[in-house]
Amino acid sequence: MRVLDSHLHLWDPELLHYTWLEGPLAWLFGETEIEHARIGNATSERAVFVQAETIEDDFLDEVRWVASLAARIGVVGIVAGARLDRGTDTTAHLEGLAAEPLVVGVRHNLQGEPDGLAVSAAFVTGAREVAAHGWAFDACIRASQLPEVARLAGAVPELRIVLDHLGKPQVGTADAPIAPTMEWVRDLDDLARHPNVWCKLSGLPAEAGGDWSAEQMHPFLDAAADAFGAERLMWGSDWPVSVIGPAEADDPYAKEDGTPMYQPTARSRWADAVSGWAERRGHDVDAIMWRNAEEFYRVGARPPREDAREERPRRGFLGWLRGDRA
């Protein structure tokens, strides 16, 4: 099975600045760490990096850092951080990103923004500039914001938009699953009526707090396939955000108090869950796991860029697992 992960994060808290990392996520997740999280059933593996919400001043530095690792870890495209509501500052930032050949899209994280921002005049102007560069836009939102993204898609039909994490619906846990709500299904269908919008099958394990089962996710995957068709769906791992939760069986580092842990097999399990669901439903597995992301982000003909810069050694989550928390 070929895998093009449409939603991979990397971060280095010693090199860049983040305000939201805590617990097992507050460590380095870089080159060494992703090598320990490769997908077991993948015959070929590539990824699109999605910005990890550094502070705004680090957006461009984040792109350059990831570009320096790309050839070694298989990153074929970068979705960069950007504020699209800043007028001339947005224009200048996008021009700076245009000098980075691996940039294929941008993300202005909308999930914490006030209602209406994505359809404000300033944001729509910025979105049109993104489209003019030939880039895509990642929409990271909450379920209640789905209608707003539909309005954005209608206002800027030339902009390719991908919905991150199915809009983050409530899914419950493996033992207490929650069925898709009528409102979420309705709003997802309305969004999918815009042909410039695609959807990532990603992030649901994080919405379950890392406590999930494949069967629990099937109704959400089915709703996405009904709305978008398999031809506009793409798999994403949301690593490492979606691999934090209850300790896996036989984890020697498990805490007696049930503290959330890094789950070493969770990325592979999510790939198996989605590919298995697609196969059982008769969907094109290779399209969902590879070709659709390749087409959407237009990365089919771009090899990872070689970069001679060396990375200084830093501690990552492997040290955290061993108890090295000094």
For the beta carbon of residue 63, count every other beta carbon within 10 angstroms.
22
What is the Cα–Cα distance from 304 to 184, expressed in whole angstroms?
37
**pLDDT the model gives residue 296:** 98
* Average pLDDT estimate for 283-301: 95
Instruction: Give the torsion through C-alpha atoms of 158, 166, 226, 180, to 10 deg.
Output: -150
Hey, is 252 helix, strand or coil? coil
* Average pLDDT estimate for 300-309: 48
Please classify residue 19 by burial: count the beta carbons closer than 10 Å to its beta carbon, then call 0-12 exposed, 13-18 middle and 19+ buried.
exposed
What is the Cα–Cα distance from 41 to 71, expressed in whole angstroms?
21
State the residue for tokens 């001679």: 308
In contact, 67 and 102? CB cutoff 8 Å: yes
**pLDDT the model gives residue 258:** 84
**pLDDT the model gives residue 25:** 97
- Tens digits of residue pLDDT in 118-127: 999 999 999 9
Percent of residues in the chain assigned helix, strand, coil, to nearest 5: 40, 15, 40
Q: What percentage of the chain carries pLDDT values higher than 90? A: 88
Residue 317 has pLDDT above 60, yes or no: no
Hey, is 225 helix, strand or coil? helix
**pLDDT the model gives residue 301:** 56
What pTM, to 2 d.p., does this model score? Answer: 0.92
Residue 264 has pLDDT above 80, yes or no: yes
- Tens digits of residue pLDDT in 175-210: 999 999 999 999 999 999 999 999 999 999 999 999
**pLDDT the model gives residue 4:** 98
* Average pLDDT estimate for 146-172: 98
pLDDT band at residue 322 under the 50/70/90 scheme? very low
pLDDT band at residue 305 under the 50/70/90 scheme? very low
Residue 309 has pLDDT above 60, yes or no: no
Q: Rg (Cα) of the chain, in Å, rounded? A: 19
**Cα–Cα separations (whole angstroms), residue 63 to 16, 37, 146, 291:** 11, 22, 28, 24
Residue 277 has pLDDT above 80, yes or no: yes
- Tens digits of residue pLDDT in 40-57: 999 999 999 999 999 999
Got the DSSP string for 12-69? -TTTS-BSS--GGGSSBBSHHHHHTT--TT-SEEEEEEE---B-GGGHHHHHHHHHHH
- Tens digits of residue pLDDT in 213-261: 999 999 999 999 999 999 999 999 999 999 999 999 888 888 888 899 9
pLDDT, the chain, mean: 93
Residue 163, beta-bridge partner list: 139, 199
In contact, 187 and 153? CB cutoff 8 Å: no
**pLDDT the model gives residue 307:** 39
- Six-digit token pair at 177? 């699953």
**pLDDT the model gives residue 256:** 84
At the topology level of CATH, where does 2-321 sit? TIM Barrel (3.20.20)
- Six-digit token pair at 288? 């969902």
Q: How far is CA 280 from the centre of its chain?
A: 25
